[in-house]
Amino acid sequence: MGFDAIIPIIKNRCPLQIHKPLSKILDEFQANPDTKRGIVKKQPLTTDITGKMILLGTGTSVGVPAIGCRCPVCQSKDPRNNRTRASAILGLPDGNLLIDTSPDLRLQLLREKIGIAHAVIFTHEHSDHIVGFDDLRLFQFYLGHAVPVYCNVVVEKRLKTAFDYVFDDADKTHIGATPAIDLIRISHEPISILGVTVTPIPLKHGPNFDVLGFRIGNVAYCTDVSEIPAGSWELLQGLDTLVLDALRPDPHVTHLSIDQAVEIAKKLRAKQTYFTHCACSIDYHKVNQTLPTGIEVGYDGLSFELT
Ligand SMILES: [Zn+2]
Ligand SMILES: [Zn+2]
Ligand SMILES: [Zn+2]
C-alpha cells in the first residue's frame, strides 16, 4: 500500500493521532505488521468487566424461545427463560476473553454494553458456537491489530471452511470487509492469554466428539458435555465456580441431563455450579427449586467474580 492510500485512511480512522507529526504516524503505520490490512486503532465504547465472568448466552443450539415452539417456557415472560446461544466472556488483566462466537454474539455484547473482545477462544466447532465469527471484524479497529483467536486444529479447519472468505488471499473490497484474524493453535496444554493461564479441559460431547472446557484460576466453563473423561476430573478440583452443561430433564446423547449434571456437580464440589446450554424443557424457577444448594440454573447476563 502506498503513502497516497495510507494518508486518507489515517485521516479517516485516527482522529486522536492526527496531531502527531505525519512522519511519526507513517513510521508507526509501516512498522505495524497489520498495515497491509489497513487496521488503525479506534477507541471503543465499552464497560469495564475486569475481574468478572459473564454468561452471555445460556441456551441450547436453537435458543429459547425456540422458533415455533408452543411450550410454556417459550411463551414465558420471565427474562430468565429467554436464553441466547451459549457463550461467555471474561474480564482478564490484559483484556476481555470471549469464549465462542455464538449466532447471538452481536446482541449479547450490545446487551451487556461490552464493546470489545481482546481475544477469542473456542470450545468446539458446532454452528451454535462459531456462527457469530464475522462479528469479530469491528474489534480489529479497536485493537489496532488482528484479533487473536485460540482454537484447536479441528475448529481451525471448520472456521477456514465455513468462513473461507476470511482466510483466502483475495483482495478485500474495503478495509473491515472481513475479520482480520490471527489463529493460534491450542492443544491440551495450559496457555497464557491476556495475563492469565488458561487450562483446556478435554471433555466428551457424545461418544465420538471431543470438545474443550476451560479453567481460569478457580473458575471453569464446561459447555456441550456428555461425559467428563477420567483424566479431566483432576483438572476440575478445588473450583469456586463451575459452569456446566445441563440440557434438559431427559437424557441426551451429546449433553448432560439435569440429573447427570447434578451428580457431576456434587462429585466436583465447586462452591457454586451454574447450568448452561439449557433447552426450553427447563423452566428457570421450577427447576431451580429442585436443585441442591450451590447448584443453580444459569441465565443470560449472570456474572460472577473470577477467583
Ligand atoms: Zn452447543
Ligand atoms: Zn419451547
Ligand atoms: Zn456442540
Rounded to 5 degrees, what are φ and ψ at 85? -70, 150
Give a three-class secondary structure readout of 120-181: EECCCCCHHHHHHHHHHHHHHHHHCCCEEEEECHHHHHHHHHHCHHHHCCCCCCCCCCCCCE
Ligand number, closest to the Cα atom of 248: 2
Task: State the average pLDDT over residues 24-40.
Answer: 60
What's the pLDDT at 170?
84
* Residue 18 alpha carbon to ligand 1 centre in Å: 45
Superfamily of domain 48-305: Ribonuclease Z/Hydroxyacylglutathione hydrolase-like (3.60.15.10)
Residue 200 CA to residue 188 CA, distance in Å, equals 5
Kindly give the distance from the C-alpha atom of residue 50 to the centroid of ligand 3, in angstroms, as a whole number.
28
Q: How far is CA 112 from the centre of its chain?
A: 14
Model pLDDT, residue 2: 42
Query: Contact, 128 vs 99, CB < 8 A?
Result: no
Measured in angstroms, how far is the CA atom of residue 210 from the centroid of ligand 1? 12
pTM: 0.89
Closest C-alpha to 239, from 220, 259, 224, 258: 220
Average pLDDT, stretch 159-188?
92
- Which ligand is the nearest neighbour of the Cα of 211? 3
pLDDT at 33: 58
| Ligand in nearest proximity to the CA of 60 | 1
Q: Which ligand is nearest to the CA of 204?
A: 3
Closest ligand by atom to 280 CA: 2
Q: For 66-123, write each residue's pLDDT tens digit.
A: 999 999 999 999 999 999 999 999 999 999 999 999 999 999 999 999 999 999 999 9
**What does pLDDT average to over the chain?**
91
CA 194 to centroid of ligand 3, rounded, Å: 26
285 and 72 Cβ atoms separated by less than 8 Å: no
| Cell numbers found for residue 124 | 468446539
Cα(6) to centroid of ligand 2, in Å?
A: 52
pLDDT at 24: 59
Domain boundaries, the chain: 1-30, 48-305
If phi over 0 gives left and psi between -120 and 50 gives alpha, with beta otherwise, what is residue 217?
Answer: left
